[in-house]
Amino acid sequence: MTILQTRRRFLASAASAAALGGLSTLLPAAVRPAWAAAPLRLAVERRVLEVMGKPASVFGIRQPDGTSGLFLDPGQRFLVDLANRAGEDAVIHWHGMTPPYAQDGVADANRPLIRDGASQGYDFEPRPGTHWMHSHHGLQEQRLMAAPLIVRTVEDRREDAQEVTVLLHDFTFKDPAEVLAGLTGGTMNHGGMDHGGGHGSGHGGHGSGHGGAMPMMDHSNMKGMGGMTMAAMDLNDVEYDAYLANDRTLDDPEVVRVERGGRVRLRLINGATSTAFHIDLGALDGTVVAADGNPVQPVSGRRFGMVMGQRLDILLQLPAGGGAFPILAQREGERQRTGIILATPGATVGKTAGLADGAAGPVDLSLERRLTALAPLAPRPTDAAFTIRLTGGMAPYVWTIDDRAFGEHRPLTVRKGQRVTVTMVNESPMAHPMHLHGQHFQVTALDGTALAGAVRDTVLVPMNGSATIAFDADNPGRWPLHCHNLLHMATGMMTELVCEQTI
Ligand SMILES: [Cu+2]
């Protein structure tokens, strides 16, 4: 889409956007009234990151002092000026926030991209918890256009635990467009993330028949698919060069100083584009206390799965004797892992291998089934119930919803105030982490079994599985509902929840 088209469409649809609410709060930085409080400053920038001794050109989202992302204190407003110095157009989605539609950080017919060199202002009430920010344009997220977005609460402050934030990522030295072209055979226009962008060719010929079985693939199709192996292909599409925790591999991990006998609150963010991780706390017992920023009944353990887009807050009690404690994240289906090291003063920090002894199994719903929201939805009858099927497959590499790629999708339309349920049935040959913008939801059934699950914004729908989510539609707008595997979203696995304001 050209800038001219974007502008024309923006102007033409300004009235409808205003009807959806919030457009008046989307102000270029320069037009904010002088009496307003000073905004926090963030910039999307290019930077050089050394990965395994080799330099790589990536993006970052940083404050003027170099801090990656934002850490807001209790009661602090999300008042931000975002400068785009990426060298290309961009847009940053505030993943986990529930702002007015205009400020969600997604480009569409009503909301333009931030042009290179321009700034954009944001002003809304943030949602407490562990969240993150990332590009919602093209494949920029694969090149680390992502950062933490932490909103602390008064209770966090009282709990006397050291906050340790870890952003996980998967990394390739390749151009992400090349990686995607290797998967699609080069037939994709990967502009599918933005409304009006291309959404690929070749969809439509694969309507049924996968039914949960692996699609047939011959070896000529396997070439150029990023080294993918037959054994791994139902779990992982892409062979990455490295897995990062706060930008670093286990060759040279971040070592966080902690106190003997101290308490730690891990804020873990799976910011990977195409990798589900098993969190491995090693010798430490952990307690999950929040999912996607929302408090849950405590769940204890040492291994927890988390899929792309999800966050987990885990409380740790360190032993009085101290020591060094690797906090690891192992890729599902593989031996590769990344992580950080918690170390008390004087502890010897040994080397942790980047490969685990054995391959991890798939991330499944075992943790999800144990999660219970501390603040569940109030009981009330459902006003609008939808069932959508997650469809598509590897050959051709097109991922869809109800056999439709984004652009040909059928939006789920609701009215403001309605109690809505969406059942997502996975008929495709891979798992999908499904993310809804604009509101958090409660997980109310998994594989058809009812539960009073976590309130969150991203839920795993495994192969052959289903998940039902429920929420009260209280935020007018056109909200993306999509797979958080970037390559699946880019090839079409996205629809919209349209929440209409009735006057
Ligand atoms: Cu997916």
Find the 42 Cα to ligand 1 centroid distance in Å. 30
Residue 208 banded pLDDT, cuts 50, 70, 90: very low
pLDDT at 126 over 70: yes
Q: Give the residue-averaged pLDDT of 280-296.
A: 97
pLDDT at 498 over 60: yes
Q: H helices within 349-449, ranges in order?
A: 366-370
Find the 107 Cα to ligand 1 centroid distance in Å. 21
Rg for the chain, CA atoms, rounded: 22
pLDDT, position 188:
54
Q: 198-212, 347-361, 403-417: which range is least confident on average?
A: 198-212
Q: Give the residue-averaged pLDDT of 90-102.
A: 98
pLDDT, position 16:
45
Find the 388 Cα to ligand 1 centroid distance in Å. 14
Burial class (CB in 10 A: 0-12, 13-18, 19+), 199: buried
80, 105 contact by CB (below 8 A): no
Q: 186-190, 388-392, 491-495: which range is least confident on average?
A: 186-190
pLDDT at 227 over 60: no
Q: Give the residue-averaged pLDDT of 233-242.
A: 84
The whole-model pTM stands at 0.86
User: Backbone phi, then psi, for 143, in 5-degree steps?
Assistant: -100, 35
Find the 485 Cα to ligand 1 centroid distance in Å. 5
pLDDT, position 317:
97
Q: 6-15, 254-263, 402-411: which range is least confident on average?
A: 6-15
Find the 294 Cα to ligand 1 centroid distance in Å. 23
Q: Give the residue-averaged pLDDT of 336-357.
A: 97
312, 304 contact by CB (below 8 A): yes
Q: Give the residue-averaged pLDDT of 97-124.
A: 96
Find the 466 Cα to ligand 1 centroid distance in Å. 13
Find the 98 Cα to ligand 1 centroid distance in Å. 23
Between 30 and 45, the more confident residue is 45
pLDDT, position 129:
98
Q: Give the residue-averaged pLDDT of 274-278.
A: 98
Find the 492 Cα to ligand 1 centroid distance in Å. 9
Which residue carries 């300004």 as its tokens? 14
pLDDT at 358 over 80: yes
Find the 430 Cα to ligand 1 centroid distance in Å. 7
Find the 474 Cα to ligand 1 centroid distance in Å. 27
pLDDT at 213 over 50: no
pLDDT, position 234:
63
Q: What SS3 state is found at 450? A: strand
pLDDT, position 225:
37
Find the 101 Cα to ligand 1 centroid distance in Å. 24
pLDDT at 68 over 60: yes
Find the 26 Cα to ligand 1 centroid distance in Å. 31
Contacts of 365 (CB under 8 A, 6+ apart): 446, 447, 460, 462, 465, 467
Which residue, 322, 307, 262, 335, is CA-closest to 433? 307
Find the 54 Cα to ligand 1 centroid distance in Å. 30
> For residues 352 and 264, what is the distance between their CA atoms, to the nearest angstrom?
21
Q: Give the residue-averaged pLDDT of 230-238.
A: 64
Find the 103 Cα to ligand 1 centroid distance in Å. 25
pLDDT, position 333:
95
Find the 33 Cα to ligand 1 centroid distance in Å. 42
pLDDT digits (tens, 9 = 90+) for 145-186: 999 999 999 999 999 999 999 999 999 999 999 999 999 987
Residue 33 banded pLDDT, cuts 50, 70, 90: low
Find the 432 Cα to ligand 1 centroid distance in Å. 4
Find the 193 Cα to ligand 1 centroid distance in Å. 14
Find the 482 Cα to ligand 1 centroid distance in Å. 8
pLDDT, position 185:
87
Residue 36 banded pLDDT, cuts 50, 70, 90: low
**Which residues share a beta bridge with 7?**
none
Find the 393 Cα to ligand 1 centroid distance in Å. 10
Find the 169 Cα to ligand 1 centroid distance in Å. 17
Residue 217 banded pLDDT, cuts 50, 70, 90: very low
Q: Give the residue-averaged pLDDT of 384-393.
A: 97
Find the 402 Cα to ligand 1 centroid distance in Å. 13
Q: Which residues have a beta carbon within 5 Å of ligand 1, which is an ion?
A: 432, 483, 485, 488
Find the 426 Cα to ligand 1 centroid distance in Å. 10
Find the 308 Cα to ligand 1 centroid distance in Å. 10
CA atoms within a 13 Å half-sphere pointing along the CA-CB vector of 207: 2
Find the 392 Cα to ligand 1 centroid distance in Å. 9
**Which residues share a beta bridge with 469?**
422, 443
Please provide the DSSP assignment of 373-406 as one string: BSSPPPP---SEEEEEEEEEETTTTEEEETTB-T
Find the 34 Cα to ligand 1 centroid distance in Å. 44
